[in-house]
Amino acid sequence: MKYRKLYEGIIHKLLLLTALVSLLAVAFITFFIFQRGLPLFQRVSIWEFLFSTYWLPTDETNPGFGILSFIVGSFYVTFVALGIAVPIGIACAIFLAEIATGRIARVLRSVIELLAGIPSVIYGFFGIVVIAKGVRELFGGTGYCVLSASIILAIMILPTIVNISEVSIRAVPRDYKEGSLALGATHWQTIAKVLVPAARSGIIAGIVLGVGRAVGETMAVLMVAGNAPILPVGLLSKVRTLTMNIVTDMGYASGDHMTALFTTGIVLFVFIMILNFVVNAISKGKITGKE
C-alpha cells in the first residue's frame, strides 16, 4: 500500500510537470513576442499601426508601418472562406452523423481525415494549377486574388468543421430524436428542428476553430492570393494577410522593420487568444444559452 501511494505520487508529479512545461512554453512565447514587438510603439502610435494602410518600412525618409490592409485582407479572406465552408461542412457532418452508413461513411471519413493531413504547400500547388486558373478563365484577371485564397482556405478548414460538428450532433441524447419521431416529425424535420439546434454550441465551436485555422494559414494563401500590400476592394483583388506579410518580409527585415513584424505577430496572438476564450465560453454554454 505504501509503495502504491508513492508510485501514484510520482505519477501525479510527472503529470504536473508536463502541464507546467506547456504553461511555461506559452509564457515564454508570449514574453518573447511582446518583448520584441512592443518597442515599435515608442516610434509609431497604436492608432497609426492598426488603422493606417501605408506600409513601407524600408523607406528611410518616410517609413510606414500601417497594417490595416493586412488586417482587412485576413478577415476578408477568412469570412469568404467561412461562407463557402460552413454550409458544406455542416451538411457533410449531418450526412455522416445521421444518414451515411457502412462503406460510404467509412470512405467519406477517410477522405476528410486525408484532407486534414495534406501539407499546406500541396494545397497551394493545387490552388495555382486548378483554382487560380479556373478563376482566371471564368472572371478574368490573374486568378491570384481573394476568391482563390478563400476557396483554398475553405477546403483546408472543412475537416475541422465537419469533425467537430459530427461529434456534436452524435452527442445529442438519443431521446431527443426518438421523442421527435414519436411525435410525428420526419427524419429531416428532426435533424433541422431538434438535433442541429441541440448541437449548436459544438457546431459554433467548430466554426470558431476553423476561423483560427484560416487566420493562421500562410503558405497556401501566399501562393494564390497575389501578395499585394494593398487594401482589397473585391473578390478579384490581390491581397496580403497578416501571416503573409510576416513571411514575405522576414527574410530581409531589420531594425524597426523587424520589430514591426513582431508587432504584427502580437496582433495575431491577441486575436487567437480571443478566439480561444470564445471557444471556451461556447463550450460552457455562456454564449448559446445552454448550461
pLDDT per position as a tens digit, 43-53:
889 999 999 98
3-state secondary structure 212-246: HHHHHCCHHHHHHCECCCCCCCCCCCCECCHHHHH
Domain range annotation of the chain: 2-42, 64-283
Residue 149 half-sphere exposure toward CB, CA atoms < 13 A: 35
Which CATH number is associated with domain 64-283? 1.10.3720.10
Residue 75, H or E segment: helix 68-94
Start-to-end CA span in the chain (Å): 41
C-alpha cell belonging to residue 32? 518573447
CB 51 within 8 A of CB 244: no
Q: How far apart are CA 291 and CA 282, in angstroms?
A: 10
Query: Which of 115, 144, 118, 147 lies closest to 129 in space, CA to CA?
Result: 144
Question: Residue 289 — very low, low, confident or very high, per pLDDT cuts 50/70/90?
Answer: very low
CB-based contact 232:179 (threshold 8 Å): no
- The contacts of residue 47 (CB under 8 Å, 6+ apart) are none
Which H helix or E strand runs over 55? strand 55-56
Spatial contact of 89 and 165, defined as CB atoms under 8 Å apart: yes
Q: Exposed, middle or buried, 186 (CB in 10 Å: 0-12/13-18/19+)?
A: exposed
> Whole-prediction pTM value?
0.85
Residue 283's pLDDT is: 64
- pLDDT tens, position by position, 25-61: 989 999 999 999 999 998 889 999 999 989 988 887 8
64, containing H or E segment: strand 64-65
151 pLDDT higher than 90:
yes
- The two most distant CA atoms of the chain are separated, in Å, by 77
**What is the average pLDDT score of the chain?**
88
User: How high is the pLDDT of residue 214?
Assistant: 87
Q: What digits encode the pLDDT tens for the residues 82-115?
A: 999 999 999 999 999 888 888 888 898 889 988 8
